[in-house]
Amino acid sequence: MNLQIENERQLGLGQNVVLGFQHLFAMFGATVLVPLLTGLDPAVALFTSGTGTLIFQLLTKGQIPAYLGSSFAFIAPIIAASAQWGLPYALGGGVAVGLVYVAVALLIAKLGTNWVDRVLPPVVIGSVIIVIGMGLAGTAVGMAGFVDGGSLANPDVRVALFTLAVTVIGTIFFKGFLAVIPVLIGIITGYFFAITQGIVDFTLVREAVWLGLPQFVAPKFNLAAILMILPVALVSITEHLGDVMVISKITGKDYFRAPGLHRTLLGDGLATSWAGLWGGPPNTTYGENVGVLAITGIFNVSVIRTAALIAVLMSFVPKMGALISTIPSPVMGGVSIVLFGIIAASGLRTLVESGIDYGDKRNLVISSVILVLGIGGAEITLGGLSLQGMGLATLVGIILNLVLPYTDKQKAN
């Protein structure tokens, strides 16, 4: 059974569940980290992540294998708005951000997407995809413990190396169904190895109850709080464009045109507003899950829906959520080195397959600026709006592509 060739075939229930858990484990740490940093309930974040993903799948006609989780772009503004007006008003700002997505989606539906090729040519797309992967490289390396010398005497480093090795071996050498779950196998084996190294704490599992409702919080609305959070929509929309580009390249389909960029933005926007209505952080498509798609070659949306349903069920089973939260950072760091690296490699592949000529100074300048701003973590603040990392690099790349004159060689082509 070659699932990697027939990646759109029907999968059995057992296969869907196993592959769904693989996606769930990949996104879990980041999704629950955002509420932990902002004072929200992680169980609510799981609930809104799962239901938000289902909303996205519904509005995109079940055509895009994308999973939505908590957005890191909103951490700082949520904390700031909560400190000044209270957490419910920060949630109200999140609801408003989702509505901005909806407005932009309606505008794109009216104007069409013919402008996309002009605004986002391969030199920009490929460079931005590299930034998405490499921009997360520091996070993966830090989680793995490969910093400050990274001594093998450190159990975190041993666990990360073991997990990385199993994931790499599984990706290259596993056959049959095992070949499409190397990430899951890496996480599970890394987890058991971490137990032997004494870095797994089961305290939260023992203290958690089996069944319980998430701590839902209703939003409140204040114009000042909304205006503090609303500008971040520009950043998150830019990130959305980048993520959809990556998934399109990995799956070999142009999602900007079918089901359409207006539908992807609408789905992401309504999922974000939905999250705010229940007390969850704004949603966004997840690079971790994109990396899983690239490794496994399984693009069935049914797997994503299964992962979403598991996340929703888990939000009502605190003990299960606590168990997954005991997976140490080094385990996820070891896996993430592969996941994020593959995203960056997809960007290189885009540049190579598009035949980008770096003997042409225009292409060289555009890619160079995008890569340095994005990977370097550059940040520019204008008024209350802060652009950084991938969002800033994408915006600057688009501007450069629009204003720099084409060379005689490019005009000829």
Domain ranges of the chain: 13-404
Q: Is residue 283 within 8 Å of residue 49, measured between CB atoms?
A: yes
What is the 3-state secondary structure of 43-69?
A: HHHHHHHHHHHHHHHHHCCCCCCCCEE
Question: Are the C-beta atoms of 20 and 13 separated by less than 8 Å?
Answer: no
Q: Judge whether residue 275 has pLDDT over 70.
A: yes
Q: Residue 115: CB partners within 8 Å, gap ≥ 6?
A: none
- Judge contact between 270 and 4, C-beta under 8 A: no
Return the exposure string of 50-70: e unless at least 16 CB atoms fall within 10 Å of the residue's CB, then b: bbbbbbbbebbeebbbbbbbb
Is 379 in a helix, a strand, or coil?
Answer: strand
> What local confidence, expressed as pLDDT, does residue 302 receive?
94
d(C-alpha 52, C-alpha 56), whole Å: 6
Q: What is the pLDDT of residues 342-383, one digit of tens each?
A: 878 888 888 888 889 999 999 999 999 999 998 888 888 776
The upper half-sphere exposure of residue 202, i.e. CA atoms within 13 Å in the direction of its Cβ, equals 6
pLDDT in tens, 61-88: 999 999 999 887 788 788 888 988 999 9
Helix (H) or strand (E) holding 227: helix 223-229
Mean pLDDT check: name the lowest of 1-10, 46-55, 65-74, 378-387.
1-10
Helix, strand, coil content of the chain in percent (nearest 5) = 70, 5, 25
pLDDT for 2 equals 38
